[in-house]
Amino acid sequence: MASLPDFEHTLAMAQGNFDVRELSECHGVACGLLCRQPDSTFDAYMTLMKTLEIIVDAPAAGFHGTLEDLFTSSREQLADENMGLTLWLPEDSEILEERTMALSHWCTGFLAGLGGGGKEELTAMSEDANDALNDLAQIAKAEVLDTEESEDDENAYTEIVEYVRIVVYMIHEDLRGPDELDQIH
């Protein structure tokens, strides 16, 4: 199973050009693009990132390589039958406010990656997937109003991250359509 690049190391490698929210958004874009177009290339991803103005200049070689690893690992995780997708978010040791805002940006990136090539592919999605997509749009608008952290808040965050992960798989499957090896009874 492919693992994503180390988040904290990548943040340091970005040398202040990206914050945790923007890094999370990069992964969201990759997952959205790969759900919509599973055969997408890394070059298409980078073009979309430039179009979305997430990346303005050509990234340094090491950071570019990490984004390529992120893209490749994301493709492998989405194809994993054991649903091993992990969202590229800050570590649990970071404050909840920062993690929540990173998740919000992850969802924004996912929606941008999913819709970045037009709406024609999205018409194949089920009603449940469309409802879940609306949920992601709501999460993308998240704001943190209370900075005091509680165990309930921590549990809610964990549940939302898991929900987002499952929604990504649902959308991926809806857009994938039936496989030649799928049996229809």
Cα 137 to Cα 133: distance, rounded to the nearest angstrom: 6
Backbone angles phi, psi at 166, to 5 degrees: -70, -40
Please report the pLDDT score of residue 72 as a whole number.
95
Listed in sequence order, the residues at least 6 apart from 107 whose beta carbon sits closer than 8 Å to its beta carbon are 28, 136, 137, 139, 140, 164
| pLDDT confidence of residue 81 | 83
Query: pTM of the prediction?
Result: 0.89
The reported pLDDT for the residue numbered 180 is 54
- pLDDT value at position 77? 93
pLDDT tens-digit series, residues 156-174: 999 999 999 999 999 998 8
Which residues of the chain have a pLDDT value below 50?
A: 184-185
Domains annotated on the chain, with CATH: 7-176 (1.20.120.740)
Which tens digit of pLDDT belongs to each residue from 11-29? 888 877 788 899 999 999 9
**pLDDT given for residue 118 in this prediction:** 60
Mean pLDDT of all residues in the chain?
86
Helix axes 96-115, 20-36, angle to 10 degrees: 30
End-to-end alpha-carbon separation of the chain, Å? Answer: 31
